Amino acid sequence: MRVQHGVGCVETWVFMMGDVTALRPREVVRQDVEAIAVIYRNLGAPVAEQMVTRALGELALTMAGIAEKVRAQELRDLARQLGRLNRLASDLGLSSLSSVAKDAKTCLERADGTAFAAVWARLLRVAERSLAPDAGLADRSF
C-alpha cells in the first residue's frame, strides 16, 4: 500500500487490488472584513472590541448548543437556532458560516435527512475554520 497525494481534497491509497480514494475536504472560508470595520468605525475601538468579542462568544455558544442538539437528535427548535447562527455569523461578516447555516436550516425544513447530514458535516468544518484563533485561516477576499 502507498499513498499518492492529489490536489484539492483527494488522497489516493493504492492497494494491490485497485485504488481507494479518501476525500478530505478543505473548506475555503470567506469573510467580509468590512462588517467588522463598520462596527469599529461606528463604535470606536474599545467598545467595538467588547461587542465583537461578546458576539463571537455568543456565536460559539450557539454553535455548541446546535451541535449538542444534533448529537442528541433533538431536531425540535433546531431550525430556529440555525437561523440565529446565520444572523450572528452574517453580522460578523463570516460569510461562509452564515451561508452554510442557512443551507442546513433549509435541509432541516425540507426534512431531507441525507442532505442535512452532508451540510451538517460541512457546517462543522466551516465553523471550526471560522472560529479558529489563527486569523490567517480565512480567505478575506470580499
Quote the DSSP letter at residue 133.
S
Determine the straight-line distance between the first and last CA of the chain, rounded to whole angstroms. Answer: 43
Residue 97 has pLDDT above 60, yes or no: yes
The percent of residues in the chain predicted with pLDDT above 70, rounded, is 78
Domain ranges within the chain, ordered by starting residue: 33-137
Q: Give me the phi and psi of 14, to 5 degrees please.
A: -100, 120
- Whether the CB-CB separation of 19 and 12 falls below 8 Å is answered with yes
Q: Give the pLDDT band of residue 16 (cuts 50, 70, 90).
A: low
Model-wide pTM > 0.85? no
What integer pLDDT is reported at residue 58 of this predicted model?
96
pLDDT 10s digits, 48-88: 999 999 999 999 999 999 999 999 999 999 999 999 999 99
Q: Give the pLDDT band of residue 142 (cuts 50, 70, 90).
A: very low
